[in-house]
Amino acid sequence: MRYNNDHKALVIGAGPSMTVPNIRELEEFEGVVICTNKSLGPTIQGLNRCPDVCVILDASHDVLSGLMPHHAVACMEQGYTHFLVATQCHKNVVQWLVANVAHDHLHFFHSSIPEELLENVNFMLKKFWDVPVIDSGGNAGLLALKISNQLGASITGMLGMEHSHKLDEKWTNEQAFEYKIIYAPEDHQTFAVTPSFQGYLNKLVAWVREHDCVNLTDWGWPYCMRDKIPLKYMTRAEFVKS
C-alpha cells in the first residue's frame, strides 16, 4: 500500500464530482487510494496510476462496463490493485474478475444484512462460504471509508461522496415527488436527495463524527451543511499540499 508518513487516504466515490479533471487535481497525492467500480476508470485516468483498492458492491451486470475499458484492463495486467468484492455480485462480473485479476489480489466478503431485516442471515452466509461478513453501510463509497480506516489512515479525503443528485428534467413527476429537493441559497445550490441517499448521508454523518475525514467537493449536502456537521472541507489542491 502507498502509505506516506501521515497515513493519508483518498476515497473516490461515484458522485457528480467524480470527473477526470477533478481527480487530476489530486494526481500528486501520495497516500492510499480507494475507489469503487464506477470510479475505477476515471481514477486511473485522473491520477495516471492504479488505485490501491477497488470496492465492488453492486450486484448489477452493468459493473462490467466500468471494468472492461482498456485502461482498467491494463490495471488488471499490472496486478497492482486489490479488488474487494461482495459475494452478491453478478456471476458474470465475478467470472471476469477471476479471469483477469491475480487471485492474491482478489478478496471476497459477504455484505451483512441487518438482523432486524433478516435474522441469522449473516451466520448462514458464513456457513455457505467462509469469507468475512462486513457491514458495508449499503454503499460502496461508505465501505471504502471503512476500508481506509482499517488500513490505518489517520485522515481520509473524499471525492464523489456527495450523495446528492443534480436536478434532471428527465425525471418524471412521480420520481421528483419522492425526492427531497434541497435549496441552499447561501451556496447558490439546488439539488435532490433520494430516500436511499438520505440513509447513506445519515451513515456518513455518524462515520465522520468518529473519524477524521475531509470533503473535497464544494457541492451537495455535505458541503452545504459543513457548518452543521463535523466534516471539514478543503479544496483538492489544499488537501494534496496539507
181: CB partners within 8 A, 6+ apart: 167, 190, 191, 192
- CA-CA-CA-CA torsion sign (171, 23, 55, 115): negative
In the predicted structure, residue 76 carries a pLDDT above the cut 80: no
> Into how many domains does the chain fold?
1
Report yes or no on 42 lying in a domain: yes
Report yes or no on 234 lying in a domain: yes
Taking the CA of residue 238 as centre, how many other CA atoms within 13 Å lie in the half-sphere pointing to its CB? 10
Residue 216 in contact with residue 157, Cβ under 8 Å? yes
In the predicted structure, residue 74 carries a pLDDT above the cut 80: no
Report yes or no on 2 lying in a domain: no
CA distance 180 to 219: 16
pLDDT digits (tens, 9 = 90+) for 85-138: 998 899 999 999 998 898 899 999 988 755 554 455 556 566 566 777 777 777
The CATH number of the domain where 113 resides is what? Answer: 3.90.1480
Report yes or no on 172 lying in a domain: no
35: CB partners within 8 A, 6+ apart: 11, 12, 13, 43, 51, 53, 54, 55, 144
pLDDT digits (tens, 9 = 90+) for 14-57: 999 999 999 999 999 989 999 999 999 999 999 999 999 999 99
In the predicted structure, residue 77 carries a pLDDT above the cut 60: yes
Report yes or no on 208 lying in a domain: yes
Full residue range of the structural domain in which residue 207 is found: 8-163+198-241
Q: Which of 189, 193, 192, 198 is nearest to 223 (CA)?
A: 189
> How confident is the prediction for the chain on average, in pLDDT?
88
pLDDT digits (tens, 9 = 90+) for 137-185: 778 999 999 999 888 899 999 999 999 999 999 999 999 999 999 999 9
Q: What is the pLDDT of residue 19?
A: 97
What ranges in 8-128 are assigned the alpha helix state H?
A: 20-24, 40-47, 63-67, 70-78, 91-100, 121-128
Q: Which of 166, 164, 145, 167 is nearest to 156 (CA)?
A: 145
Q: What is the mean pLDDT of residues 214-222?
A: 97
Between residues 82 and 120, the one the model is more confident about: 82
Report yes or no on 189 lying in a domain: no
Q: What is the pLDDT of residue 4?
A: 46
Based on DSSP, count helices (H) and strands (E) in the chain, helices before strands.
11, 11
CA distance 133 to 12: 23
Report yes or no on 67 lying in a domain: yes
Residue 24 in contact with residue 43, Cβ under 8 Å? no
Report yes or no on 230 lying in a domain: yes
Q: What is the pLDDT of residue 127?
A: 59
